[in-house]
Amino acid sequence: MTRPRATDSEFAFELRSCRWAERAWPPAEDVETDRAVLVARQLGTKRRRWDTIVLECDREALERRANFGPERLDSDLLHVVRNAPADWRYYRDALPDPGYPWRYVREAIHAADDRGILETRKSGNRIEIRREWAYPDWVDRIVAIENKPDLDASAARTLAAQLEYDVALGLADEVWVATRATGERVEPVLFEDLPVEAGVLALEPASLSAEVAWYPRSLAVDEPGTRVLERPEGGRRDGSAARFEYVPPETKAEKRLAIAERAYERGWRSFVDTMRPDCRQFALRGTDGSQLRPYCEANGRCQTAAECSGSCPEFEPEPPSWRTKGWPIEGGPGKRCRRLLEDRRRRRRPGL
């Protein structure tokens, strides 16, 4: 018998999916791993954004990554810290040609020095650099998950094209689809025309449990990928060719590391950064003692980031008295919510 569908939004389902991955990844019961797991949401490239990203990390290397601080290292900073020498050298001799003007490299060197992750000194008119720490190889695998609690035929067609893009490019090691468990013997999502390379998770958000309905194939992240630029728009009978380009493994490796750095900085609890916790209707509510989710007192449910904004008709700033009375910290309950989520995010990054 099919269970009645829940009324939670895709956003609420996504938060539960992130929490499940943080607790239970990898999903295969017979797989033992000593890897650490970092989970983030709504990250990717300018052409493709994933709902949930799971980073499988080397534990010791992940702890050494903390030497470089909680903020992400962008591509310019990575170019500097990954190639900085152990002994003092002129920066142009120490670093490979970046492929863009050296003045941007100098800006990155000064930014790294300001953050305390690189040493610099002047020798005449020359800037010499020396690394503080060797940048670790901390990311083992990147797993992408698309969260679709209620996947109908129309949504499946759109999702199939996105998954085909992921499989062809091979930027993530695995791609999955997480959908709400129905309780049926065969999950309906398996009847949809999705790429066989994509795995399928049947997630029960209330109990925070999941079963693997279909196992994914590992993608060739170390080989050239194919980026689909344009598809024929005439349907199945359109025989015109698609436009595509090849992506070399070196470019893919740079993109993967950039995604991992952004995931390290943001995690998945950063949803509060795009909401209005300073509204008197905003609250964090615990879910079965394992997760804090946003809750709108006015609407009586978990609100989305788009709904929780200053333009919301129910938005009402916190009374000034809330920020001065009855709270053990300055700033009121809104800032307390931010700090609480930040503390939990920080605990997932050992060494900080």
What tokens were used for 23?
């607790």
Residue 22 sits in a domain of what CATH number?
A: 3.40.1350
> Could you report the per-residue pLDDT of 221-256, keeping only the tens digit for each?
999 999 888 777 766 666 666 788 999 999 999 999
pLDDT of residue 288: 66
> Could you report the per-residue pLDDT of 249-270, keeping only the tens digit for each?
999 999 999 999 999 999 999 9
pLDDT of residue 238: 60
Percent above pLDDT 70 for the chain: 90
Tell me, yes or no, whether 48 and 100 share the same domain: no
Domain range for 313: 270-347
Tell me, yes or no, whether 40 and 147 share the same domain: yes
Contact (Cβ atoms closer than 8 angstroms) between residue 69 and residue 117 = yes
More confident residue, 196 or 229: 196
What's the mean pLDDT when you consider all of the chain?
89
Q: Counting beta carbons within 10 angstroms of the beta carbon of residue 98, is it exposed (0 to 12), middle (13 to 18) or buried (19 or more)?
A: middle
Concatenating the DSSP letter of every residue in 147-174 gives E-SS--HHHHHHHHHHHHHHHHHT-SSE
- pLDDT greater than 80 at residue 127: yes
DSSP E strand boundaries for 20-162: 36-44, 49-57, 89-90, 118-123, 126-131, 139-147
How many separate domains does the chain show?
3
Concatenating the DSSP letter of every residue in 298-318 gives TTTBPPPTTTSSTT-TT--BP
pLDDT of residue 237: 61
- Among 99, 131, 163, residue at a domain's last position: 131
pLDDT of residue 43: 93
- Strand 282-287, strand 291-296: pairing: antiparallel
* 70, 74, 80, 82: CA torsion to nearest 10: 70
Tell me, yes or no, whether 278 and 180 share the same domain: no
Tell me, yes or no, whether 54 and 142 share the same domain: yes
Tell me, yes or no, whether 259 and 182 share the same domain: yes
Residue 115 sits in a domain of what CATH number?
A: 1.10.10
Residue 157 lies in a domain: yes
Tell me, yes or no, whether 318 and 171 share the same domain: no
As a whole number, mean pLDDT of residues 56-81 equals 96
> Could you report the per-residue pLDDT of 27-51, keeping only the tens digit for each?
876 556 788 999 999 999 888 999 9
As a whole number, mean pLDDT of residues 163-186 equals 94
Ramachandran area for residue 170 (φ above 0: left; ψ -120 to 50: alpha; else beta): left
CB atoms within 10 A of CB 104: 12
Tell me, yes or no, whether 191 and 292 share the same domain: no
Model confidence band, residue 4 (pLDDT cutoffs 50, 70, 90): very low
Could you give the 3-state DSSP secondary structure of residue 325? coil
- Among 106, 131, 156, residue at a domain's last position: 131
Contact (Cβ atoms closer than 8 angstroms) between residue 230 and residue 209 = no
Residue 63 lies in a domain: no
Contact (Cβ atoms closer than 8 angstroms) between residue 281 and residue 248 = no
Tell me, yes or no, whether 75 and 186 share the same domain: no
Whole-structure pTM value: 0.88
* Rounded-to-integer distance, Cα 106 and Cα 42, Å: 31
Kindly tell me the number of DSSP H helices and DSSP E strands found in the chain.
8, 13
pLDDT of residue 326: 52
Tell me, yes or no, whether 31 and 150 share the same domain: yes
CB atoms within 10 A of CB 340: 15
